[in-house]
Structure 1
Amino acid sequence: MSDPALTPWQVREPAPGDAAPFAQLHARVWRETYRGIMTDEVVDALAPEQFLPMWEQVVAAYAQGRVADDGRGFLVAVIGEEPVGFCRHGPARDEDPPAPHQVWSLNVASEHQGSGVAQELLARGLGERAAYLWVAQGNTRAIRFYERQGFALDGTENLDGHDGVVELRMVRPAPPG
């Protein structure tokens, strides 16, 4: 993990006031990331309002101390008050998972990609445990990032039910010993 004194961002759990700014970041990251992967019509229609209910639910759960104790976690990264990224992870959601833990989402604003914030979010969320995730086919930057974090494509594909996106599964084994 990075030395907090040397990093410009703070990684923390969601807090009151995070819902709207993170919904805006969520929509922006998806518009930037999925252009050329999803149809332009779908990408152009992405809006913060689509993501706001999920963010409101997450923020409320953390504010009320109703966080699940089943390994679920949600971390956000901010610089001052500006949201720059988030990571959501938890128990595997697939019927026959290759690992017991799954990265559900990891999104970082384009201007902060390559800064180390995604690595920090992933490291704090997962530690060194075995995990897997789904990444959109064509999202080469993300695939390369996950490979540097110890994940490897395992040849499994999934045609996502929304927007015709083909997802590729990546798996990271537990460290030896």
Structure 2
Amino acid sequence: MQSRVRRGSIGPLKIRQAGPDDVADLATLHVTCWAETYPGLLPAQEIARYDRDLRLRQWEQQIAKGTSRIMIAPGAGFAQIGPQREAALAARGVEEELYALYLLRTAQGAGLGRALFAAAFGPAPGPLSAMVLEGNDRACRFYEATGARLAERRPERIGDALITDLLYLWDTAPAP
């Protein structure tokens, strides 16, 4: 699947399935998006721990496994949806999970997030989950605008920091 999104000075962006040649771009996007999104929400040392080398290995493994759908808008963002990793949610019929949806700040606000999300979700409508770090208000608004509901708040410790993960659920296919 390929789609186009218009974005001001960036020009038309193509969304396509990521492959082995996209590993470096995925790693760079992932690191940059974390650096743009999580200051003040995660400890700086935690953000730094997920460096480009770690992300390169992660994306090489994810693409090689082939168990998830990874869509990329090269140089702008990516989305990844795959099998539910939480047994309790899978047992409730929530068979898929949005693992990641990241856009560079310069690529936000033009519909690219929705286009990546729709491309990764694919044609089979059904329940879906996602975890969001509390305080990532932009992501929460995005998920709610696509039909998700906040289902649960989960405290978690990362290093010395206590954070809260928010579990969002879509009971049906996300709204376009």
The code of the aligned residue for 1:121 comes to L
RMSD: 2.4
Give the one of 73, 76, 81 matched to 2:72: 76
TM-score by structure 1 length?
0.80
Pairs aligned (count): 162
1:4 maps to what in 2?
4
Q: Counterpart in 1 of 2:107?
A: 112
Question: Hey, what does 1:100 align to over in structure 2?
Answer: 95
Matched residue of 1:106: which SS?
strand
Residue 156 of structure 2 is matched in structure 1 by 159
Secondary structure of the 2:86 match is coil
Which of structure 1's runs of 4+ aligned residues deviate more than 6 A?
none
- Percent sequence identity is 27
> Of the candidates 149, 171, 174, which is equivalent to residue 173 of structure 1?
171
Q: Which amino acid aligns with 2:70?
A: F
Structure 1 gaps, min length 5:
none
1:129 deviates by 2.5
User: What's the secondary structure of 2:172's corresponding residue?
Assistant: coil
Contact 1:134–1:170 at 8 Å: present in 2 too? Answer: yes
Q: Which moved more, 1:131-140 or 1:90-99?
A: 90-99
- TM-score when normalising by structure 2: 0.80
Provide the residue aligned with 2:78 in structure 1: 86
Number of the residue aligned with 1:67: 66
**Distance 1:156-1:5 versus aligned 2 partners, 3 A rule:** closer
Unaligned runs of 5+ in 2: none
Whole-Å separation in 1 of the counterparts to 2:5 and 2:142: 24
Matches for 1:133-152 after TM superposition, within 5 Å: 133-152=130-149
**Which residue pairs with 2:27 in the alignment?**
23
1:68-122 Cα shifts (integer Å, max 9, x gaps): 4xxx3111112xxxx2111111111112115221101111111111121110111
Whether the aligned pair in 2 keeps the contact of 1:160 and 1:167 (CA below 8 Å) is no
Kept after mapping to 2: 8 A contact 1:38/1:164: no
